[in-house]
Structures are given as structure tokens and as C-alpha cells.
Structure 1
Amino acid sequence: MATENLSPALHAPASSRPYAKAKPGYGKRCAPDQRPPRNDDFALLPERERYIAGYVDRLPDGAAMDIKSLAKNLPLYGQMAVAGALKALGVAGHLRHVRCLAGGGDQIRWVTRTFWSRTAHDNEWWDAFLTAEGSGSAPEAVAIASAAVASASSAEAETPSPSLSPSPSGSLAPSTAPPESAPAAPADLAVPQQRTPESAQEQHSPAYLALAQLGRSEPRLTLSATDCAVLEGLAGAWLARGVNTDYLTHALTSGLPDRVDTPVGFIRRRLVDKIPPRLPAAPTPSAPGIHGRRLMVECTECGAPGRPEALPDGLCLPCRTPAPEIDSDTAPNSALGEPLAERDIRALVGNLRDLLRVD
């Protein structure tokens, strides 16, 4: 019996064929929302694109997606053909080249990845996906949330259920009686109210505690509880400007005179005169990159980076705009308007030197 051939194109190499593996962080990344593989996934594409798409679809995540590596493992096509096929697959909605930040701390670097989708998507879907990928709201957050839900459900499943006891009618009913090991307390037995000591109820600020400790480190600056409460606001202004209690204690106890008649007045004067300046807030360090973006799409043709919405079909504006056709018969070959074959090369070079000569 004759078997109908649904795809006249050549079959892509098997997945067991050796492939080039990209560096850690680079290479192929599978996009979500893909249907299961079928024999007619790329039936609408031309023969070359169908062959290369079948090979790329079988590559695992992390495989090299640069033109040289693909052309080395595809014997039927060279680098120019592979580059043209990748551009066509990007226009068809199967792939996008992106440049994103990877790593952490001082090891942040830009890496190039290729997001591949067996199912073709339009520009709106790619823009939404890449924007969410760049903002960090991605499938990792969904996976963490689902894992938390699963752990919560498993913990709930491990909770022991109430025991069943036979009811008077003979059926099993959940037992609501308390266990024998925990007898109920008599209702008339009143539990006396526990009183908290007064020292535990008092909660003082760090400024108050620092002032109270001055007398123990320097007897000449011994303060009473009333004095600490009066000076607490001035000492709190120091801590509000970013200094700690050790800095405050050192500033108040250094360079003391031989005799301090009124410690409260002396400390008040120092708190007012030696208050530290208010430092400006440190700017939040932003991640390196263009405008702090963590993901930018690269043009499939020339590699120019940009926002996802600025590169529809994965192409920048110059690569999407066709070059104007020039009529070789009517267009002049130079400013002189003479054909190239009829020019005097030496005279032309001499004229160029005269134009470039600085007076």
C-alpha cells in the first residue's frame, strides 16, 4: 500500500545527534504555552525553514543557538542559509533572541538567549511574555507558589482526623469528647490573674538606656530617671541621624573637665552643640544595563538590542525596511557622473586627496 507523505521536506536529524552546548546561562530556552509535538508542526514553512525548525525543536535547553554551531551540525545548509532561516522563523513567531542579565552580586553579566516556541505566537504574546520575563514575574514565581500550595495541602492531609465512635443508633459518628488524659477543669475554680512585674512592663527607648548607662561608665555623668526622661528626646535626635548608642556614649564622655557640677545641664549642652549632621540617603544601586532593564530583545538580523515592543517579528526598523532599488543605468556612480570604467583612477585619487587636504 502507498503511504501518504504529509511532509515532502527532508527529516531533521534525530535528537541523539551530537549538539553543541552553550556556556552556562546562554543558549536555547523553551517558551511556555506550547502544544505537544506533532508531525505537521512546521508544515506551512518552506523546506529549509521546516528542516532547521525540526532540528532546533529537538534541541534541549542550554544548547548553542548561534549560527556557526547550527550550521556545523546541519550539513545541508551553510551559515548564510541558517541565518536566513532563523530570521524567517522569528518572523513566523517561533523564536526571539534576547539579551538579559544573569548572575548576582559582582558577577552580573549580559548573556544572550534564544526563546523557542514550537507553537507560533504573535507579537503581542511575545511582548507580554518577554516583559514579564524581564520584570522577574515569571514561571519561577508560579512554581514557588504552586509548591507552597502543595506543601500546605500535604501538611493539612497529615493532620489527624477526629476519631469515630459508635452513636446510639449504631452508626459511626465523630467523637467530640475530650481525651481522658486532659480532664476538664471545674467551672467554679477561678484561675488567679497573673501580674507582670513593674520592671518588665517598662519599655524604654535605646536613647533612654544609653543615657542611663552613662553613670556606670563615667561617674561624673550620673543621671537620675527624671534626667534621662528629660534628655531622651535630644539623644533620640542623634540616633535618628544614623549614629548608634556607642557613638553617642563616646561623644558625651570624651574630653570631660575635672569636675562636672550639674551632669544634666552639661549633657544637655553637649547634645545640642555636638549633634551630628544629617547625611543624605544613599542612592539605591541599579543593575547595569540600558535604563536598568534586565532583558532586551535582539534583532534576529543584526543583533541590535531594544524593547520587546520596538522589535516586532524580532527585527529592528532598518532590517524591516527594504532597501530602495537603484537603477544602475540612470543612477550616477559618483559625483562626477561618469561611468567607473571611463574614469582616470589616478585623477580621482588626486581629487580625493585635494578634498581631504587641510589648508
Structure 2
Amino acid sequence: MASPGYGKRSAPDQRSRTGHDFTHLLPRDAAVAAYLDGLCDGADISVKTLAKALPYGQCALRTTLNRLQEAGHLRRGSECVATEEVLLWVTRTFFSRTARDDAWWAAFTRGDVPQEQPQRPIRSRSFILLAALGRKAPALTLSQADCVALEPRLGEWFERGATEAEILHALTEGLPSPVHHAAGLVRRRLRDKLPPARVAAPPHRTAALRTLECGECRAPAAPEALTGGLCGTCRGGDPGPAPTTHGPQGAVPVQGVRARMSAVRAGLAPRAERARR
């Protein structure tokens, strides 16, 4: 494990592991990426430590990490961590099993990661509930054709915020005996007991204090200037916009923290003088 504040940090909202996660990479890069993916957060992933665990030298590993960065699997930077007394900027190495483009990493730096749209299941949530309704109340066992026909009506309940427990209670409570037409009874209850729409509370977002830096020269820069994780100078082109300051108004930029701390120390009275006071 790395020292506190260092080491691997997994990026959020990654897809589940599959057998072809890194097949688009070169063989050595894919092997290193799979190894990094299996490490827990906080693991030391410096080239010196990786060289002890993997059959590659430090130069080869440094090249591989740069290629993983270019492919969108890795970014290096800093993040502000709040303690009870101070705000500390600590080094982070973010790893993503899912390859991300520069726009995603820029949004991640702002703490505004776009949510990926989940793949549509073969059967909807409404169809699955209707097909399993007979387990809760055998008298309401439905055919596949009934489930397909009633699926849109039940979908309205989910759109209005109803839970599965509430729907099951509305459909199965106080059933007549016997039930002559299960599909007709379910259709009528879905229509007559349709709840009003619920107003969802707006999502609460916490601003992230996070920066990224060039993978080559390690200089902090705006995410928009780090194409493939490299600044314009290291890419051999225009250096791009100047680094932006993240954090509350008046916060010291990352690149100015050491200078500010040196000025503070220079203004402190020596310990011997403080004791005489």
C-alpha cells in the first residue's frame, strides 16, 4: 500500500468486469492494466513498486502508464481532502477500467461526472413484475400476452414513483373469490388506483476540489488543456490555457501552496522568543 494520500484511486461509474476489457491495448499495456484493475484503492502503483511485482523494467512501465493515460484509463493529479483542522492537497492517480475521453475526465475533475445510460434489459421492470404476480397471488397468474398488454399501464406507476411493494399491495389486497378474469381485474386496478405523480427532490451535488496534471512534466493544468493526459508543451504544440484555480474564492492555487507556506513560516517568531513571551 502507498503512503496516505497516494496510490490508486478508482474512477466512479465503471462497467462490470468482462474478459475483453483491455483487448484494444497492446499486450504489455493490457497486462499492466489488468493488474492495476485488480488492485484495491490506495495500492502503490509507482513504477518502482510495479517493477518489483511485474516482469517489466521501470522504463517499460513508465511508457505503458503513459499509453494507458493516452487511452483514457489513467490520469494523475491532486485532490483536496478536508480534515478537522485543515484542507490538504494530496497526490492522486485515478484509474478507470472503462476508457474515458478527455471530456469525461474534465467533468470528473469538476465533480460533475455524466451518468451513463444503462443498457435496456430484455424485459422491462413492469413485465417482470406482472410475470411474477402469480407467485404473490396465484389467482392473478397472467399469460405472456396479458403481461405485454398490461406492461405500459404498469409503467405509468413506476414513472410516478411507485415502488414494487406498493404496486403489489394495490393489485393483490382484498381480492374477490373467485377471480374470473385475472387480466381484466389487474387492468382495472392499474387504472383506478393509479397514484399521483411524486415530485422528486433535486439531487444534491458537492463541489469537488480536484485538479489534474500533465503525465509527462507533472505540471498542473486545466483539464481541457490535457489532451490524452499531456499538456500542450509536452505534446509539442501550444501550451494551452493557464491552470485554473479550483476551490472556494480566495483559495491558494495548487502551484502556489509551497510559496505561501514558506512566507508563513518566515513570518513566525522563533520558538525561543515565543517562550519568553
Q: Which has the larger radius of gyration?
A: 1
Q: Could you tell me the TM-score, scaled by structure 2's length?
A: 0.50
Q: Could you tell me the TM-score, scaled by structure 1's length?
A: 0.39
